[in-house]
Amino acid sequence: MISAVYAPLGWRRAQFVLDQICPHLPSGCVLDLGAGTGHTAALLAQRGWAVTMADVPPHIGALGQRLVAQPIAARLGRESGVPRVLYDGTRLSFAADSFDSVLLAFVLHHCPDPVAVLREAARVSRHVLVLEDGDGESPPGRLNRVTDALINLEFGHPHAERSRLEWLGMFAACGLGVEYEQGFTSRFGGLKGRHRLYVLNVL
């Protein structure tokens, strides 16, 4: 029931993500880290990428993850043949350079330790794509954080949005250089959002 209600928005949002990343995503193996509902991973698989989904078990306040995102991801993984793994948010169970690319789509600002997540992404691949909320010199404000929490049905979880310069500093601290970046906007359910794509390579 939940899957059927969410499906139109999930596929639409996934297509929007693909429109941003596909020009910068080489062919081969992709790790969708923080895969959410799995719609993006399923579309990538349909288009010829070898995709693996990875996510963390939902914490106690992550109602959206527990009731919506992860059940949908599990079903889509089975239907599309995309492997799906859960990890502790610290260490992925993959060897170094296991993937051609890692995708982190609107994930880092929800991570208790985004540096650890970035370092693992850089360990398992030398090419990392990050999409994040905000596109300015100041991080998204309180209204954005409240809206994000309501949309994701997540409470008591980090909402560590950062400014562009703060993200760039974090990338550099993790040994990641910026190959390309671009701002873009979205509109879902009447809500307009500003975002930024960062295409990163291990230095």
Q: What residue spans define the domains of the chain?
A: 2-202
CATH number of 2-202: 3.40.50.150
Distant-in-sequence, close-in-space partners of 5: CB < 8 Å, separation ≥ 6: none
Closest CA relative to residue 118, chosen from 166, 170, 154: 170
Sequential pLDDT tens for the chain (203 residues): 455 555 677 898 899 999 999 999 999 999 999 999 999 999 999 999 999 999 998 766 665 676 778 888 999 999 999 999 999 989 999 999 999 999 999 999 988 899 999 999 999 999 999 999 887 666 666 656 555 554 555 666 666 789 999 999 999 999 999 999 999 998 766 677 889 999 999 99
Distant-in-sequence, close-in-space partners of 191: CB < 8 Å, separation ≥ 6: 147, 151
CA torsion angle for 174, 95, 76, 193 (degrees, to 10)?
10
